[in-house]
Amino acid sequence: MICPNPKCKKQNPDDNVFCEYCGTRLDASSTPTVYEIKIEKPEKNVTARTWKCSLCGVENTADMNSCVKCGNPRIQKPVKDPSNKLDRFQEKSGDPGKIFAKIITIYLYIAIGVVVVVGIIGFLCEL
């Protein structure tokens, strides 16, 4: 089935509800009420990758920009530069805000412990 979008006009499989390139609805009258999803294991020598729709969970091939079942656009994850030292540090250390909160909590417990020890020593010295 050919995409009705004038900017796309690419050929799609007949069972697609949405265009796999631009996400345009192909034909409202042919929308099936029950979807049949067949996911076959690729051959060992095939290097094609798939991506899973974040909305409906259908596996789509790597060249598709939108889901064939629901039309949800593909979400691209930002690619991290392995040479960037800040990215590597953040991966190893985690969220800086959480680390700072943990450090403050540790210092607070130490300060409370010191106050308790000094109070006990002061109380024992008065006896």
Predicted pLDDT at 87: 60
Distances (CA, A) of 101 to 5, 60, 112, 114: 52, 41, 17, 20
Whether 25 and 64 map to the same domain: the answer is yes
Beta bridge partners of 73: 66
Same domain, 72 and 92: no
Number of domain units in the chain: 2
Are 25 and 5 part of one and the same domain?
Answer: yes
Q: Are residues 69 and 93 in the same domain?
A: no
DSSP 75: P
Closest among 102, 33, 42 to 69, alpha carbons compared: 33
Average pLDDT by stretches of 10, the chain with 127 residues = 85 84 73 49 56 83 83 69 60 68 91 94 84
**The pLDDT value given to residue 48:** 55
The predicted structure's pLDDT at residue 29 = 52
Domain range for residue 24?
Answer: 1-77
User: Does 28 share its domain with 55?
Assistant: yes
The reported pLDDT for the residue numbered 26 is 83
pLDDT of residue 31: 43
38 and 10 share a domain? yes
pTM of the model: 0.31
Q: For residues 71 and 60, is the Cβ–Cβ distance under 8 A?
A: no
Q: What pLDDT sits at residue 90?
A: 60
On whether both 66 and 99 belong to a single domain, the answer is no
One domain for residues 9 and 62:
yes
> Do 15 and 33 fall within a single domain?
yes
In a shared domain, residues 61 and 93: no
Query: In sequence order, what are the residues at sequence separation of 6 or more whose Cβ sits closer than 8 angstroms to the Cβ of residue 50?
Result: 59, 60, 61, 62
Q: What is the pLDDT of residue 37?
A: 53
| pLDDT confidence of residue 111 | 95
Based on the fold, state whether residues 48 and 110 are members of the same structural domain: no
> What per-residue confidence (pLDDT) applies to 109?
94
